[in-house]
Structure 1
Amino acid sequence: MHGLGSDGATPGKSRFDDMYVQPDPRAYFTRLAPLGYEIPHHAQPVFRQLAAERAAYSDGRAGRLVVLDLCCSYGINAALLNHEVTLAELYERYTSDTARRMSPEELAAWDREFYGERRRPDALRVYGLDVAAPAVRYAREAGLLDAGFTDDLERVPPGPELRAALPEVGLITLTGGGSYITERTFAALLDGARRPVWVSAFVLRTVAYEPVVRKLATYGLRTTVDASRTYPQRRFTDEGEWQYAIEAVRALGGDPPGLEEAGRFHSVLYDSRPGPELIVH
């Protein structure tokens, strides 16, 4: 959910930066629970299916496929992709009295055992990218990420470690970070790619994703989106954010009645794969 660059701040949309400087995800879940943040739940079956399809797609390159999760924060998408666990269970776990009494180190050890016991047999390697170093560090310590990076690709090119990792990436996933990153981040990643890279992004209807779609097209990726299917993300924090969302959706030609007007952000799913053209329906 976190962004990859502070320059991407969106006026009118609440920021949650203070959650990501914590040494573990307890504040993340405690803060988001009252808002009903749920987009990782909707992404879980989508990313599992897409990862299976991408893993089965022969690209003629040796080595195991790697998924790169953008704006990965504490590795929530990796947890849901590779383990038999639900988002509801994670909310319950990290807001429990048991978790509340632990030190960050104890929580990480507790998590390593928890996720180790629930590891799926078809688990894929997952790398994470987020400027929030404490969040990425915890995801690594908990065993959710095989590698983690904090490069701010909105500002600078990938560093040597990320550059060395990018040739392994075959699938890029995104939930919630579309408000904070632009085509600059995607271009920096795809410039370093060697495999055919697929991109699956849940993007708020308040965000203009077309510049990213056009940039991906220059790398031979065709993007499809079913704008009629939306995925609720979370409740608005206040009336100001509610009004911002309604106005932003209308400005992009969207229709907020029954969706944003009902009190929640909604996302649409963009799927980008090698192909000749853009399809929007």
Structure 2
Amino acid sequence: MLTACRPAGPVTVLDLCCSYGINAALLNHDLTLADLYAHYTSPQATELTTAELIEWDRAYYAAHRRPDPARVLGLDAAPHAVSYAHAVGLLDEGFAENLETAPPSPALRQAARHTRLITVTGGASFLSPLTFELLLDCAHNPVWVAAFVLRTISYRRIAECLEPYGLSTERAATHTFPQRRFTSLQEQQYAIDAVTAAGEDPQARETHGYFHTTLYLSRSATDAVQTPLTALVQAP
């Protein structure tokens, strides 16, 4: 995981491909991923209507809210997921927009002005440099970009597009991070082949049944010197 390194004052985090706000749930609440699995697979959750689940989740997250939450903006092309995450209080603001096909709305531009950290966990597969460039053009402050990228794809083009914004990209080389189980043997074989073709070793990672991601952190050279990546990353 990436530990927090916050400047003084409130922080605005923009979560790309935010879906139902799981990153925001983990960032701002005293909860683990195991807690969320137990919550949503419980008998009570499966019996609720959407409206009832929203009320249940709103109370659940309010009860576990950290005392110093970050302000989280969510951006995803899926409107139902974004609206749900906003309704239960995980997102301070949510935007159902696809920056690969259209520029950011005035509302998103305004909200993104104070972004200090852009996060994406697995969604880099669907994004080109364009999305990152449009968001960085909105920001009025120095921004970090933390991306957990599937090992089946290359992050090179996105890392290169960040350089003109003064962001140099480092890769966490000591370990990888599991994302999800494979849905089939065919999907697993695809991942093993892609990782191998990229010059990486799938043993004990993709061969054990999970997609794995690599963390790439982009920030100013000064920030990188002041706070080494190894000081921020903990083994999963």
* TM-score of the two chains, using structure 1 as the length reference: 0.76
Structure 2: distance between partners of 1:111 and 1:226: 34
How is 1:111-190 mapped onto 2 (pairs within 5 angstroms)?
Answer: 111-190=57-136
CA shift for structure 1 position 227: 2.8
* Identity within the alignment, %: 53
| SS state at 2:169 partner | strand
Structure-2 residue corresponding to 1:54: 6
Q: Given that residues 203 and 270 in structure 1 are in contact (C-alpha distance below 8 angstroms), is that contact kept between their aligned partners in structure 2?
A: yes
Over residues 127-175 of structure 1, what are the superposed CA-to-partner deviations in whole Å (9 max), with x where a residue is unaligned?
1000010000000110000000111011111111111111111111111
| SS state at 1:54 partner | coil
Over residues 96-120 of structure 1, what are the superposed CA-to-partner deviations in whole Å (9 max), with x where a residue is unaligned?
1111111111111111111111110
CA RMSD between the two structures: 1.9
Moved over 2 A (4+): none
Which one of the candidate residues 214, 220, 231 is aligned to 1:268?
A: 214
Structure-2 residue corresponding to 1:242: 188
Q: Which has the higher contact order (CA 8 A, sep 6+)?
A: 1
Aligned residue identity for 2:86: R
Unaligned runs of 5+ residues in structure 2 are 231-236
* TM-score of the two chains, using structure 2 as the length reference: 0.90
Structure 2: distance between partners of 1:250 and 1:105: 46
Over residues 27-57 of structure 1, what are the superposed CA-to-partner deviations in whole Å (9 max), with x where a residue is unaligned?
xxxxxxxxxxxxxxxx4xx2xx23xx2334x
Asked if 1:231 is matched to 2:177, the reply is yes
Structure-1 residue corresponding to 2:163: 217
Structure 1: distance between partners of 2:220 and 2:96: 27
CA shift for structure 1 position 280: 11
Over residues 208-245 of structure 1, what are the superposed CA-to-partner deviations in whole Å (9 max), with x where a residue is unaligned?
00111101111100111123411111221111111111
| SS state at 1:55 partner | coil
